[in-house]
Structure 1
Amino acid sequence: MARVTRFINDGTGLEKTLRLIQSLAQIAAVFTVGSTAVRLTTAKLQLALSRRFFRFFCFLESFEQVSALLTNGGRNSVAGWLDLGKWTSFGLYFITEDLTILHAMGVWTVPWEERVMRQANTYWFFALCFSLAGSLYKIFFSAPTKPANKSKSKSKNGKEKKTEEPVVEAPKTSALVQQFVVDSCDLLLPLELLGWYPTGDLVLGVTMVLSTILTGWNVWARV
C-alpha cells in the first residue's frame, strides 16, 4: 500500500494513472450507448485535458536534451542525429500544444485552435518516428558495453596507483525494445488525430492501456 501511495504522489505516476483511467473510459464508451456513453466520453475528454497540465512545461526538458546533445557531440553520430530530431520535435509539439490550452479550458476560444493542434500532432508524429528509428538503430548498431580498463600512473611520492577509465555502456536491449513497443502504440494516436490512418476508439484505447502499463511499470520500479 505504501508503494501505491508513493506511485500516486509521484507526478509521473499520477499522470500514468490518469492516462490508464482515460484509456479504460475510452474502451468502455465503445460498448455503451446513450447517457452512459456520453458520460464516459466526457470523462475521457476531461482526463485528457487534465493530463495536458502535467506536460505543459515539458518543452523545457526537451530543449534541454537538445542542448545537451549539441554540447556533447550529438551531431557526430547517426544515433545523435536521431535523438536531436526526436527531442526537437517533442519540444515543438509541447510548445505548440500549449498555445491552445486556454481554448481547451474554455477560457479564451480562438478560431485557429484546430490548425495549431494539427501542427502540434504533426510534430508529435515526427517525434515518435525519430524515436522509433533511434530505438531500432541502437538495437542493431549499438557498440557492446566495454569493461573498465585499469591503468597505472605514478603519484608525486613515487608510489603507483590504479586509475579506472570510465565505463562506456550501451543502452540495454530490453529497454530499447520496450521503448519501441511504447512508441509503436502511441504512434496510432497522432495518425488517428491527423486522419492519416484512422483506427477507431477501441484500438486506440487498447494500445493506450498497453503503452501506459509499460511506461508506468518503470515508474513503479523507481518509487
Structure 2
Amino acid sequence: MAFVEQFIRFTSDASGLERTFRMIQSLLLVITSSPFLLEVAASYMGGTSGYGDALTKLDKEHVLTTTVVLIGARDRVNMWRRFFRVFRFVESFHVASKLMGSLMGPNNGARSATKAKNEKNAKNAKKARFQLRPEWIELFARMFGGMYLFLESLTVIDAMGVTGLAVWGPERARALNVEGQRYWFLSLGCSVLAAVVRMLRVAKDMPPPVPTEEEKHENMGSPLAEAADEDGGDEQVKSAKLEAERLRLRRIVKGRMQVRRVWIRKLQARLVVLGRRAFADFIDMLAPGSIVGWTPADGKTVGVSMALTTLLTGYDVWLRCGRELAEAKAKAQAEAEAVEEDGKAAESKKTEEN
C-alpha cells in the first residue's frame, strides 16, 4: 500500500512525471535506433513473417511504417517533456543571481577571512572570494543551463509542428536548438566538476561534531584525581576508584565512537548522492554532445545513457516523494492526536462543570 501511495505521489509530481516521460522517450530512442528491435516491434504491432533476411517486401514496408510511427511517438513524448521546461530558465537564472550575490556580497569576504588562518586583512579576504570553490562552478552551471532552457523555450512553438504556426522558421529554429545543446553540454560539464570538488571537500564542509558543554561537564571529574587529594586511603577504595575511572573513560570513548560512526554514515550518504549526481551528469553529456559533434555516439548509445541517467535521477525524486509522504502522514497523525486531545479536554471540562 505504501508503494502505491508513493507511486501516486511520484507520478503526480512534476519532476517525477517528467522523469517518467524521459524513460519512455529513451526506450523509444533505443528501439528506433536498432534495426532488430524495430523488426521485433513491427512483429508485435502488425505481424511479420520473420526477421532479417526472411522479411518479405510487404514485411519491410510494415517495418518502415512502424519506424515512422515510433519516431513520431518519440518526438511527441519529447514535446511533452519540453512543456515542463518552458519557464525553467527563470529558475536557473534566479538561482545563479542568488549565488552571485552570496559569492560577491560584502559579508562573504568577512566570513572567508574569519575561517581562513592566512587571511588577516581585507585584501586577503577579497582574494579569498575568488578561490576555486564549488559555488563558483555551480554558478556557471546554472548560467549555462539557463541559456539552454531559454533557447529551448524560444523554439517551443516551432517544435510543435503546427502548419502555418512558426516563429523562427526551420533553419533558424534548428540553429537555435544546436546552440542550446552546446550550453547544455557546458552546464553538465560544470555540474560534474562542481560535484567532484564537493566530494573532495566533503569532510571540510561537514566537520565532525564538537562535544557540547553538557557532554563536557558530564565527563569532568576523575575518581583518581579525587583519590590523589586524599591522604593515604584503603587499597580497596583506590581499586574501586580505579575501576570507576576505567568505566568513565570507556563511556567517553564509546560515546565519541558512536558520534563518529554517525558522522561517517552522513559523509558516506553525502558522497553517494554527489557521486550519483556526477555520474548521471557525465553520462548525460552524451546527448547534447552527439548533436553538436563533440561526443561521437549513435542513437542507441544515447538512448541507453538516457535510460540509465533517468533511473539515477528519478531515484532521487522517488526518495523525495517518499520523504514528503512520510512527513504528510506524520503531520496528519499529529493533527488528529491534537484534535482528539482537545476533544477529551473539552469533554472533561464539561463533566467537571456538570
| TM class, shorter-length | 0.7 to 0.9
- Do residues 127 (structure 1) and 215 (structure 2) align? no
2:178 to 93, 96, 118: 118
Partner of 2:286: 188
CA gap 1:151/1:86 in 2 versus in 1, 3 angstroms: farther
Q: Calculate the TM-score normalised by the size of structure 2.
A: 0.55
Task: Name the amino acid aligned to 1:83.
Answer: E
Aligned residues: 207
Task: Report the Cα distance in structure 2 between the residues aligned to 1:113 and 1:215, rounded to whole angstroms.
Answer: 29
Partner of 1:203: 301
- TM-superposed CA distance for 1:68, in Å, is 1.6
2:23 to 12, 20, 24: 20
Deviations 1:35-59 (A, max 9, x none): 2222111111111111011011111
Deviations 1:64-116 (A, max 9, x none): 21122122226544212101110000011101111111110122151411111
SS in 1 for 2:313: helix
1:108 to 166, 176, 181: 166
Partner of 2:13: 10
- TM-superposed CA distance for 1:208, in Å, is 0.5
SS in 2 for 1:199: coil
- Do residues 178 (structure 1) and 276 (structure 2) align? yes
Task: Report the Cα distance in structure 1 between the residues aligned to 2:135 and 2:5, rounded to whole angstroms.
Answer: 40
CA gap 1:149/1:68 in 2 versus in 1, 3 angstroms: farther
Unaligned runs of 5+ in 1: 153-168
- TM-superposed CA distance for 1:192, in Å, is 0.8
- Do residues 37 (structure 1) and 67 (structure 2) align? yes
Mapping for residues 120-159 of structure 1, pairs under 5 Å: 120-142=180-202, 143-146=204-207, 147=209, 150=212
Deviations 1:15-46 (A, max 9, x none): 00000011111112222142222211111111
Task: Report the Cα distance in structure 2 between the residues aligned to 1:112 and 1:202, rounded to whole angstroms.
Answer: 27
Partner of 1:166: none
Task: Name the amino acid aligned to 1:62.
Answer: S
Name segments (4+ residues, structure 1) moved above 6 Å. Answer: none
Task: Report the Cα distance in structure 2 between the residues aligned to 1:28 and 1:16, rounded to whole angstroms.
Answer: 19
Task: Name the amino acid aligned to 2:183.
Answer: Y
Task: Report the Cα distance in structure 2 between the residues aligned to 1:62 and 1:187, rounded to whole angstroms.
Answer: 19
Task: Report the Cα distance in structure 2 between the residues aligned to 1:58 and 1:194, rounded to whole angstroms.
Answer: 22
- TM-superposed CA distance for 1:149, in Å, is 6.9
SS in 2 for 1:56: coil
Task: Name the amino acid aligned to 1:38.
Answer: V
Q: Calculate the TM-score normalised by the size of structure 1.
A: 0.86
- Do residues 54 (structure 1) and 79 (structure 2) align? no
